[in-house]
Structure 1
Amino acid sequence: MNPPLLRIRLLGGFGLVREAGAPLAARWSRPGARTLVKLLALTPDHALHREQIMAVCWPHAELRAALGSLRVALHTARHTLEPELPPRGSSAYLTADGDLLRLVPDTVRVDTDEAEALARRALHTGGRRELAHALEALTGELLPEDRYAPWAEPARERLARRRADLRRALAANPRPHGGPTLRPEADAARVRLDWALHLDRSGRYEEAVTVVREALHSYERQGLRDACTLAAARLAEVLGRGRGGGEALAVLDAHPPGAGASDDIRAAHHMARSAVLSYRGRYEEGLAAARAAEHCAEAARGADHPVLLARSLAQQTVCLGLSGLADEAAGPAESALAPAEESGDRALLATVLSVLRETERRAGRHGDALAYGRRALALAEQAGRPTATAFERANLAELHLLRGEQADAERLALASVELAEPFGGTALAFALTALARVRVAVAPKETARLLERAGRCAKDGGHLQAIDEVRTAWAELVAVRQAVP
């Protein structure tokens, strides 16, 4: 029997996913073993001499001590990648070839390899859609937990050059709408919008706001009304996730679609309004805006048609669910799945699956919710979306808790907090709340500390749903305390 394929994620944070087999541990017992796998994954041919690895991992150790540490790290890495491996069995993923250590090419896939291959093809023969898809695949910071590690710098620089190549190619590749060619300043603004989307999905929200503002101001100077409407929609969605909800609505009001605007522009405007209204707890208004977005998306015939349709349907589910109308939420969620899959956008599909997971959870179908949640988590990881990945881990942790699976709940909640920690704000608030719920029955004092910190993070992020989740978790803690004699 062939071993299950192992996927190594480097973009957005280190992670491992196997397509089958025993689940992999979220934490490594030895940091040197994890660094060993990262080094091999970063190297273009995924093979390194033992001395190269020892020089990075144990630079100040004597040779004998370094060799001993390497043996222990290699053993730990092999059994972490393959928990069912017998004590003296041959690894399907990490082998030794003389003094070379190597990841097995037939059984291991690394996300940066696949993203760079996609970029090379797009730069050689692709059009604008292929270039944008390749840039999407390169979204996510390379190993943010090792941001200042010198051994990661060559790969970091190589990926930065590849992203720059793609952005330049996008700027030189006109949109397929026909009509007059945009001026160079408009091309530069369009590239900024593309880049801002990737910053947003990488959890770098402040940078995304800055870049979109620059694009919007550029379009304003040129009097490009439709472009202003699209840029304003993008800016409003990023602002709306935090404390900028009021400004987000003002931006949308300042740049409504013109009388001759196309259906895709109208759909983007209504979609942004719905998202901002739902972030502010105005769910009925948000639902009306999402339905208006769906109506426009149905009429749109551009390349973005499936994206707009899937987003508008998923947004209706969110508004209905948060309004307490869970029975009505299932229909739009299920209808969103086909266009999300058609779009080829992994991040969008992950979002739709996340919405379906929540719909099933509210209906009490926890097994189906887990299935959707696991798919959403895998796609968020593949798309290099660290904050979305942390959010999915937190929700899966709570699902396992509902099923009485304490160990799985603990593992996922800890992994969620670990990934969300560098981002703080809303992402960390959800992660800490999930961990608090896991610990509430066994460690109420620690739970209180976790919720205090979660409350501060939710307030900093300004996300109403996160604030409500923390408040609900506090009520659960109070109920547990009152139940103790």
Structure 2
Amino acid sequence: MPATCQVRVLGGFGVAVDGQPVPTHAWRSRRAADVVKLLATETGHRLHREQVMELLWPELPVEAAGANLRKAVHYARRALGDPGAIAVDGQVLVLWPDGRLDCDLERFDRTADAALASGDASACAAAAATYGGDVLPDDRYEWWAEERRAKARTHYITLLRAAGDWARLLELDETDEEAHRAMMRRHLAAGRRREALRQFEQLREALRERVGVGPDAETVALFETALAEGAEPPSVRQTVAVTLANGLVAWGRRNVEEAERLAKRARALALDANLGHELGEASTLLALVAYAKGTWHQQFREEFADSVRRSANLEGAVFDAHLCFQEFYLYGPEGHEGAESFGRDLLAIATEAGSPAGLALAHLLLGEFALLSGHVDEACEHLDRSLADAERAGCLSAQSIALERAAEARVRRGDLALARSLLDRAMPLAHSSGIRSHLVIRIHGLRVLAAGGLVESLGAVRHGERLLTSATHVCDPCSMAFRIEAARACARANDLSRARRHLAEAERISGLWQGGPWSAALWEVRAELRRAAGQNAQAAALFLEAAELYSTLRRPIEEDRCRAAAVG
């Protein structure tokens, strides 16, 4: 056996034997490389064969998984150039037992542990510099790699924190509040007050966009200190920022009344100063409070009526702030019950005010109601009018949603080419809107549904997966449709482990809604997984369960589809 095998897993996968790289084509099968990855990242580079089978082929019976493992080991040995490259010690597989095995992850862990134990900041910085990137980034959706990846990344972040490399930490996670505070203190100590204020604004924006929360009390207090150090009084925008931040602190502490008081004060200041962005933030906090108090419909109606009488800048801010709550209204436990009368009410208010943005929102709600009720032609009429009004108002998010829903209506009609064309128009609008974390993933979900075949559908799944694993925040509830459609597509492709991962995420997110159409959709996906596994009787029972739930929610298109699948 050659003396040295070098395995790289940080930032990508690669193997070299005695300095000679193993070419990609030598592996012959993906699972051959996966066996080497598993063993290389395991302590001692050894793993029981049953553990390997469970990690790589969890859906297969023991005999089939064992056969696959034997084949994968055979091809891995051939790629590494020696039959002893992977030895079998009893029931345990061992990588490179008779030579020197050098894994970059193992070296990084040793260096990191030594640096952290020393307590020396420069040693920690030097150790952090040896981190070549996340573990196996190309295997992002292989669940067996997740624990190894998370552990190494945590090690890296701990090194950066010990080294005081706050700028690098913020490159990795723009919501790292400790890093933002450290940068604010550094700016203040150097007399750079404006930079400290800008740092707070960056944090506030990142938390709002990516997490949906505000800075904590310690950070807000530091911001107020920076404001107090200035010769000039705080601007209205800065006063609103402090008020909103404290309101979110109160919300986080479940002090609903204080959160509502501060949100109303911030909203009044934002309205008087015509601050659309800040009005949107205040409206979001008020919507949270109203939902907790069971008064969201009344709150939204009041804000809608007030905003349509003001500038389009403020109308758009209110529209964006209430998006997720409107979707909860349509997809929550009670389904779309009452949506038509609510939409008609909003339409009357917007018509009287002559507000294009208000008309766009009202027609959107009516179009969504018609679509969910199975009235596709009526839905198309409302959604086309919504799009026209949104274009007149210059509201990007309203245009994106109208196009997205119009595409869904065309899918229901069977016009997939037109649906894809509408989604192509919607995507740049979603990216340019103020609520891209909500809108972009929704379009990816519909692209899976509107695909022209299984290959195109799986391609759309991969695009959505890349978005979900990128640094860009994605709203969990808004990703629900993508998770459902991705699970279906993967089940049809017989990639059951991948389908189950998307289903598991959908099940987690559905906990936000107890009941409702997503619960029915989950039963439908479970049925498709059973059918893909050849368990047709169980699949039929689950399809009927989904059909009954859809019937209760008055979703005829979905009900008919599930009943047909149960007997098909």
**C-alpha separation between the residues in 1 aligned to 2:382 and 2:209?**
27
Instruction: Measure the CA separation in 1 of the matches of 2:360 and 2:200.
Output: 24
Structure 1 residue 174 corresponds to structure 2 residue 281: no
Instruction: Trace 1:304-383 onto structure 2 (pairs within 5 A).
Output: 305-344=395-434, 345-360=436-451, 365-375=456-466, 377-378=468-469, 382-383=473-474
Any stretches of 5+ residues in structure 2 without a counterpart? Answer: 1-7, 13-33, 42-51, 56-115, 118-142, 185-193, 215-247
User: How does the TM-score come out when normalised to structure 2?
Assistant: 0.51
Q: Is the 8 A contact 1:347 1:379 kept in 2?
A: no
Q: Match for residue 357 of structure 2?
A: 264
Matched residue, 1:276? 369
| Per-residue deviation, 1:288 | 1.3
Structure 1 residue 273 displacement after superposition: 1.6
Cα distance per residue 1:429-457 (max 9 Å; x no partner): 22232122112243334434544543455
Identify the residue that residue 447 of structure 1 maps to in structure 2: 539
Matches within 5 A, 1:25-424: 80-82=146-148, 91-94=152-155, 109=172, 113=176, 124=197, 134-139=207-212, 160=252, 164=259, 167=263, 170-175=266-271, 178=274, 193-195=283-285, 207=291, 210-216=294-300, 218=302, 226=309, 238-241=328-331, 243=334, 245=336, 247-255=338-346, 256=348, 257-301=350-394, 305-344=395-434, 345-360=436-451, 365-375=456-466, 377-378=468-469, 382-385=473-476, 387-420=477-510, 423=513, 424=515
Corresponding residue number in structure 2 for 1:63 = none
Deviation (angstroms), 1:467: 3.3
1-structure distance, mates of 2:157, 2:174 = 23
* Larger relative contact order (Cα-Cα within 8 Å, sequence gap ≥ 6): 1
Shift of residue 347 of structure 1?
0.7
1:281, CA displacement in angstroms? 1.2
**Could you say what secondary structure the match of 1:94 adopts?**
helix
Q: Is the 8 A contact 1:458 1:467 kept in 2?
A: yes
1:342, distance to aligned residue in structure 2 (A) = 0.7
Provide the C-alpha distance between the structure 2 equivalents of 1:219 and 1:329, rounded to a whole number of angstroms: 33
- Cα separation, 2, equivalents of 1:312 and 1:176: 30
CA contact (8 A) 2:445 2:483 kept: no
1:279-322 Cα offsets, whole Å, 9 max, x none, are 11111111111111111122224xxx211121121121111111
Inter-CA distance 260–425: structure 2 relative to 1 (3 Å threshold)? closer
- For 2:267, give the aligned amino acid: A
Q: CA deviation at 1:333?
A: 1.0
* CA distance, structure 2, for counterparts of residue 429 and residue 299 of structure 1: 37
Amino acid at match of 1:94: H
Query: 1:139 deviation in Å?
Result: 3.0
Residues 421 and 381 from structure 1, CA distance in 2 versus in 1: closer, same or farther, beyond 3 angstroms?
farther
Q: Larger Cα Rg: Structure 1 or Structure 2? A: 2
In 1, Cα distance between the equivalents of 2:506 and 2:326? 27
The letter for the 1-side match of 2:375 is R
Deviations, residues 97-116 of structure 1 (Å, cap 9, x unaligned): 89x999x9968956853799
Residues 1:217 and 1:348: Cα distance change in structure 2 (over 3 Å)? closer
Counterpart in the other structure of 1:40:
none
Alpha-carbon RMSD: 5.5
1:438 matches 2:529: yes
Q: Residues 434 and 226 from structure 1, CA distance in 2 versus in 1: closer, same or farther, beyond 3 angstroms?
A: same
Match in the other structure for 2:225: none
Q: Which amino acid aligns with 1:341?
A: H
1:365 to 1:383, Cα distance in 2 relative to 1, 3 A: closer
Instruction: Give 1:276 deviation, angstroms.
Output: 1.4
In 2, Cα distance between the equivalents of 1:161 and 1:380?
Answer: 28
Residues 265 and 419 of structure 1: CA distance in aligned 2, closer, same or farther (over 3 Å)? closer
Mapped partners of 1:281, 1:115: distance in 2: 50
Deviations 1:169-220 (A, max 9, x none): 7425424885xx99xxxx99x8785247669xxxxxx948934223156569
Distance 1:171 1:288 in 2: 35
- Cα 1:460–1:158, aligned 2, differ >3 Å: closer, same or farther? farther
Length, aligned pairs only:
374
Specify whether residues 158 and 468 from structure 1 end up closer, same or farther in structure 2 by C-alpha distance, changes over 3 A only: farther
Kindly indicate whether the alpha-carbon contact (under 8 Å) linking 1:236 and 1:276 is maintained by their aligned counterparts in 2: no
What secondary structure is seen at the aligned counterpart in 1 of 2:294? helix
Q: Cα offset for 1:224?
A: 7.7
The offset of 1:407, in angstroms, is: 3.0
The separation in 2 between residues aligned to 1:458 and 1:380, in whole angstroms, is 36
